[in-house]
Amino acid sequence: MRLTVHLARLLRDVARYSVATRRLALLVLVVAGFVVILLALAAQTTAPLAIYPFA
């Protein structure tokens, strides 16, 4: 949960910076990175549940 809060704050700060400096590419890059992180966390959480029936 702490990681999620920290990532949300980081995303908020980067969004404010990108709006202030008008750098949309920075915001797009950070959002894409967070999507990859969320996919990795989801895979890490669901992998044991998916493998368990076959073990």
Reported as a single tens digit per residue, the pLDDT across 3-55 is 778 877 887 888 888 888 888 888 788 888 888 888 888 888 777 777 777 66
CA distances from 32 to 3, 11, 19, 43 (A): 17, 11, 17, 17
| Per-residue pLDDT, 50 | 74
Task: Encode 20-31: b = buried (16+ Cβ within 10 Å), e = exposed.
Answer: eeeeeeebeebe
